């Protein structure tokens, strides 16, 4: 997602961190740094950064233990901003299925198997490995963060958790 940082138009030193194979589509004009690694296994990958930014990643890292490790690494930075889709939103963000997280787990597994048979391997892989993060779990994982809610027609769509480090002056 290097395009996001290009849009800001501010002089920033941006480092993208992701798993192997995730950087195959980096635009040739990208001037930032790219680091391949797993933050859940090596929190030192984010040491020394002023801000850790995570957009719709935490729900994909795997088990609760890996979610805890990811959150601890994010919280090791002086400032962080982390977003997760709200599981109670009627349209599931990744696979575009209605009321996905309200369905029984057995029904979700059956749909994933049907997607595999139909050749929808990306949807199947994506949803088989997704563990939704509600507001309470986000609060538990990042207890020192401020949580904001993005709403659509009054229904939570996303949760944002952030912390502004000491000495940081907000713009404006």
Tell me what pLDDT residue 167 has.
67
User: Do the beta carbons of residue 32 and residue 23 sit within 8 Å?
Assistant: no
Residues whose CB falls within 8 Å of the CB of residue 93, separated by 6 or more in sequence, listed in order: 56, 85
Strands 33-36 and 79-85: unpaired
pTM of the model: 0.85
Placement of tokens 């696979």 in the chain = 95
The interaxial angle of helices 121-128 and 105-117, nearest 10 deg, is 150
**Residue pLDDT tens, the chain, 172 long:** 445 555 556 667 788 888 888 888 888 777 788 889 999 998 888 888 888 999 999 999 999 999 999 999 999 999 999 999 999 999 998 888 999 999 999 999 999 999 999 999 999 998 998 999 999 999 999 999 999 999 999 999 999 999 998 766 655 5
d(CA 73, CA 52): 9
Structural domains of the chain, with CATH: 38-91+131-163 (3.40.50.150), 95-129 (no CATH)
The three-state DSSP-derived secondary structure of the chain is CHHHHHHHCCCCCCEEEECCCCCCCCCCCCCCEEEECCCCCCHHHHCCCCEEEEECCHHHCCCHHHHHHHHHHHHCCCEEEEEEECCCCCECCCCCCECHHHCCHHHHHHHHHHHHHCCCHHHHHHHHCCCCCCHHHHHHHCCCCEEEEEEECCEEEEEEEEECCCCCCCCC
């Amino acid at each position: 997602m290097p395009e996001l940082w290009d849009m800001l138009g501010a002089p920033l030193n941006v480092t993208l961190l992701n798993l192997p194979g995730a950087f195959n589509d980096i635009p040739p004009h990208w001037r930032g740094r790219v680091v391949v690694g797993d933050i859940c296994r090596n929190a030192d990958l984010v040491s020394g950064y002023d801000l850790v930014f995570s957009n719709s990643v935490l729900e994909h890292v795997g088990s609760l233990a890996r979610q805890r490790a990811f959150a601890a690494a994010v919280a090791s930075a002086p400032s962080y901003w982390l977003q997760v889709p709200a599981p109670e939103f009627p349209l599931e963000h990744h696979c575009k299925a209605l009321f996905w997280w309200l369905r029984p787990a057995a029904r979700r597994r059956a749909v994933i198997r049907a997607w595999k048979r139909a050749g929808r391997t990306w949807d199947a892989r994506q949803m088989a490995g997704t563990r939704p993060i509600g507001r309470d779990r986000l609060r538990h994982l990042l207890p020192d963060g401020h949580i904001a809610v993005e709403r659509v027609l009054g229904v939570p769509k996303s949760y944002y958790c952030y912390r502004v480090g000491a000495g940081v002056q907000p713009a404006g």
